[in-house]
Structure 1
Amino acid sequence: MPVDPHQDPFEQRLTTALHDTGDTFDTDRVALAERGTLRGRRKQLVRRAGVVGAATSVVVACVGGALILRSGGPATEAAPSSLAASAKPKPSATATATPMTDQQMIDTFKSLLPKGTFSQEHGQGTQKTDKLKVPAPFATLVFDDGKGAAAMNVTVGRVQPGGTQARQAAQCPDKAFVAYDACKTSRLTDGSVVTVLQGYEYPDRRVDTKYWSADLVTPTGQQITVSEWNAAAEKDSPVTRPQPPLSPAQLTTLAAAKEWRGVANALPAPRPEPELPGSDLHARADLLALLPKGLKVTDRSSDDDGEYAYVVVDDGKGASMVQVNVQPDMRDVAGDLFGADDETLPDGTRVAVHQGPGEKGDVVMWTVDTMREDGKRVVISAFNSGSQKGPATRKTPALTIAQLRTMALDARWWDGS
C-alpha cells in the first residue's frame, strides 16, 4: 500500500527511515536510537506530513534521527489551481469548511488528476473515528495515465501558523542527509509556501524508485501534502515508468487546489506547539568554536538554533563530517548507553567511546558519548566521509578520539555558553 491510513505520515516516514538505516546496527541500539529520536525531537526534526522518502539519519552511537533542513529560498510564483479545470482562480486560504467522507476524499482526489485509470483506492475523511481521535484526511490510489502505474496520495492537515512545522515546510532537506535531484520552495500569490522535492524512496538508491512531493502551507496554517512515485507502490514494487506522472508544476497545482482548503478548515484547530528541549542551544556555533586548528570547514548545517549540528572539515587529506547532538536529560536510557567498563569522571560524568562502521560501504564512524549526572548528554561523532550517505573520502576521520573527547567534555556544552 502507498500509505498506512492509521499512521501519522511523518511518523510513517520516520519509521521507514529507521528501518532502512537500522540494518547496520544490532537490535538494542536500533530501539534505543528510535527512542532517542522520538523523545528528543528538535525544531529541525518537526517536518511536515510525509517529508521525504529517507529523511532521517540514525547513528551508531544512538545520537538519534538527524533531519537537517536548509532553506530553499522562497520565490514568488503565480498561484495554481486544479489540474482538471480550464480556469485558474487563485486558491483561497479562507475557504468554507468542507467536511468529507472517506469516499469523497477519494473522489475529490481523482477529479483533480489528469485523465487516466484508477485502482487500489483508499481514503480517510474528516469524520472522527475510534482509531483517529483527530482525523488526518487522506486519499491514496494507483493512477495510470497510459504510461505506467504510479502510487499517489494526498494528506490534509492544519499546523500552527508561523510555528515550527509551518517553517520547516518551507525548507528543502539538507543534501548531506537526503539524496534528491531537485528541490524548490516558492511563494504563491496568496502567501502560501510550497516546497516541491524530487527525490528517491530509498536512502541508498538501491532501487530506482523515485519519490516526488509537494508540501504546501497557507498563511492560516492549512497544510496539504501530495506525493507520487514511479511505481505502483511506495516500496517493494517494480518501477513502472521513468518518472512519476505529475511534473513539479502539476504537483504544485494539485496541492494548491481550493478543494483541500475546505477540507483543512473542517479539521480541529492545531494545538499550540510546546517549547522543545534544547531550544536555547546553538550547537553549530559551539561545534565550530571547538574544532581543532588546522581544519578547513567546507560545509555546515544551515540552522544554528537547536541541539544538533554538523560541519564538514578537511585537513588536506579529504572531507570528514563531524556532528554533535546535545540532549537535555537522557537518564532514563543511561543504562543502555553506558556499561560498567566505560569511564566515569570524578564529577560523575560518564564517557563511552565507539569506533565502528558507518551506514554503508567503507565508511567508519568514531564517537565519544558523554552524560552528566543530571542526564545532559553530548555526543560527538566524526566520519571518514563528507556525508553519512556518501562514500569514504579518507581512511579515518579527520579528528582523533582524543580530540572528540576534549570537544564533548568542554564546559560550554554544560554551561550553555
Structure 2
Amino acid sequence: MPADPHGDPFESRLSAALHQAGDGFDSPRTGLATAGAVRGRRMQLHRRATLAGGAAGIALVGVGGALLVPWDDTAGTPTPSSVAATATATGPGASYSADDMVRTLRKLLPEGKFSRSDARGTDGKQPPLAVGVFDDGKGVGSISVGLGRIPGRPAPSGAVMPCPTGGQTGLDSCRTELLPDGSAVTVYQGYEYPDRRADTKAWGADLVTPAGHHVSVVEWNAAAEKGKPVTRPEPPLSPARLKELAAASEWRRIIDALPEEKAPATPSASSARPAEMAGWLILRKLALLLPKKLERVSNGSQETGFGYFVVDDGKGESLVQVNVQPDMSDVAGELFGSGSETLADGTRVAVRQEPGEKGGAGVVQWTVDTLRKDGMRVVVSAFNTSEQHRAATRAEPALTVEQLRAVALSPRWVSGQD
C-alpha cells in the first residue's frame, strides 16, 4: 500500500507493509520508522492498512488515548461466509501445508482463476500465508491472506487495525465494525502510495476474533503490490467480499493448529526476542505524555513498535511519532556516538535536529533517541509538517527538544501503566 506519508522510522514496510510475503505480515504504508535504523536490526514493521495514506497499525484508539468501540452499525451487519459457518477447529494436533492455504483461498474466492505466488503452512518458522494473482475475467489483481494469533483473549475492538482519524487520511473509505460472533473487522480502501504517484489501489480487511484469531487480507488492482502496471480500475473483491473472506472460519481452523510458539502476537517477531510493545499501547502512552494544550488532529499505529499523532498548537499541524524496540543493547555503539550522553541510571540519550528524509520542502525533524540499560529503545521525533513527504507548514515542530526528551525518558514506557 502506500508509502507512509508519515515517514519510515526504522526504514525497511511497512511501509508498515501490506503483504505478507517474506518474514511476516506487511501492510500498506511504506515506511513508519524514524531515522537511525540499524542495519540488520530494524524491526519488521507490520504492513496492514492504510493509515493517513499509508498502512495502519492495530487498535481502535482515539484522541486522548480512549479506546473506541465501533458500535455504530448503520451499514448493516456482515454475513460470514456460508462455508465458514460449518467449519470446526481441529486444534494444535493438526497441520496445514502451504498447499492447504492455497486450496482454502481458492475455495473462498468467487468464480475466476487463481495462480499461486507464495504460500506457507503451519509447520514453518513463519506464520501461514497465501499470496497469488486472481482473475475474475475483468483483469488480474494480487491477493494476500496472512494468519496469526494474538495471545490471550483480546478485546477484538482494541486489537483490530484502526481506521485513521482526522480529515486527510489518504483513504477513500475505512470502517470498523463488530460481527455477530464478537469479532471486529476493519475494511479499508486506499492506495499503495499515499502521494498517488501510481494508480495502484490497496484494499484490505483486518479481523480479530475474541479467541485471538487474526486474519489479514489485502488486494491490489495489479498483479503485484509494486512493480506491475494497473490492470483494472479497482481490486477484484468488493469491500463486502473482503469482509466475508476475512471472516471465513476456515482460517480460524488453521490458526488453531498453530503451536503457541509459532503464533506470536506479531507474526514476524522472533521468539528469541523480548515481546514487542503493541501499537495500540504505544499510542495510548503517547496520548498521555503529549502536552495537554495540543489539539490531537489524527493518530495511527502499527501492530507493534510504532505510533503517531498529528497535533496542532494553533500554529499549524505537526507530526509526532514514537518507535519502541526491545533488546537493542548490542547495537548501542552504532546508535549513540560521541555526541550522546549517559544518564545516572545508564540510559543513553542522543538528540538530532536535521532536515526531513522524505523529500518535503523545508521539512525538519527533531529526534530524541534513548536506550535504557535493559535494552529498550524509545525514539521520539517531531516534524514541522503533518506528512513528511509534503512541504513544511510551520517553522518548527510543535514540541520542543526538551518536551520530546521528556516523552522519550518517561517511566511510563517501562512501567505497567498504560
Normalised by the length of structure 1, the TM-score is 0.70
1:259-298 equivalence runs, <5 A: 259-269=250-260, 276=275, 283-284=285-286, 286-289=288-291, 295-298=293-296
Which residue of structure 1 aligns with residue 48 of structure 2? 51
The one-letter code matched in structure 2 to 1:228 is E
Describe the SS at the equivalent of 2:245.
Answer: helix
The one-letter code matched in structure 1 to 2:112 is G
Describe the SS at the equivalent of 2:38.
Answer: helix
Q: 1:240 aligned to 2:231?
A: yes
Which deviations, in whole Å up to 9, do the C-alpha atoms of 1:42-87 show, x marking residues without a partner? xxx7x6xx52378999xxxxxxx994743574345545244xxxxx
Which deviations, in whole Å up to 9, do the C-alpha atoms of 1:283-334 show, x marking residues without a partner? 3355235x7xxx542336579xx99664444343312233455667744332
Evaluate the alpha carbon distance shift between residue 257 and residue 365 of structure 1 in structure 2; reply closer, same or farther with a 3 A threshold. same
Evaluate the alpha carbon distance shift between residue 368 and residue 268 of structure 1 in structure 2; reply closer, same or farther with a 3 A threshold. closer
Point out where structure 1 has 5 or more consecutive residues left out of the alignment: 39-44, 58-64, 83-87
Aligned-partner Cα distance in 2 for 1:228–1:351: 41
- From 104, 108, 111, the equivalent of 2:104 is 108
Contact 2:89 2:256 in 1 (8 A): yes
Evaluate the alpha carbon distance shift between residue 390 and residue 409 of structure 1 in structure 2; reply closer, same or farther with a 3 A threshold. same
Larger radius of gyration: 1
Evaluate the alpha carbon distance shift between residue 268 and residue 55 of structure 1 in structure 2; reply closer, same or farther with a 3 A threshold. farther
Which residue of structure 2 aligns with residue 146 of structure 1? 137
Describe the SS at the equivalent of 1:381.
Answer: strand
Evaluate the alpha carbon distance shift between residue 196 and residue 207 of structure 1 in structure 2; reply closer, same or farther with a 3 A threshold. same
- From 169, 172, 177, the equivalent of 1:181 is 172
The one-letter code matched in structure 1 to 2:24 is P
Q: 1:228 aligned to 2:257?
A: no
Evaluate the alpha carbon distance shift between residue 99 and residue 80 of structure 1 in structure 2; reply closer, same or farther with a 3 A threshold. farther
Aligned-partner Cα distance in 1 for 2:305–2:105: 39
Deviation for aligned residue 1:226: 2.4
Q: How many residues end up aligned between the 2 structures?
A: 373
Contact 1:278 1:326 in 2 (8 A): yes
Aligned-partner Cα distance in 2 for 1:408–1:138: 36
Aligned-partner Cα distance in 1 for 2:97–2:414: 52
Normalised by the length of structure 2, the TM-score is 0.69
Contact 1:283 1:326 in 2 (8 A): no
1:328-339 equivalence runs, <5 A: 330-339=328-337
Moved more, 180-189 or 199-208: 199-208
The one-letter code matched in structure 1 to 2:317 is A
Evaluate the alpha carbon distance shift between residue 93 and residue 383 of structure 1 in structure 2; reply closer, same or farther with a 3 A threshold. farther
Q: 1:30 aligned to 2:37?
A: yes
1:356-371 equivalence runs, <5 A: 356-358=354-356, 359-362=358-361, 363-371=363-371
Contact 2:171 2:189 in 1 (8 A): yes
Which residue of structure 2 aligns with residue 41 of structure 1? none
Aligned-partner Cα distance in 2 for 1:125–1:413: 35
Deviation for aligned residue 1:414: 8.8
Contact 1:211 1:229 in 2 (8 A): yes
The one-letter code matched in structure 2 to 1:287 is L
Aligned-partner Cα distance in 1 for 2:159–2:355: 33
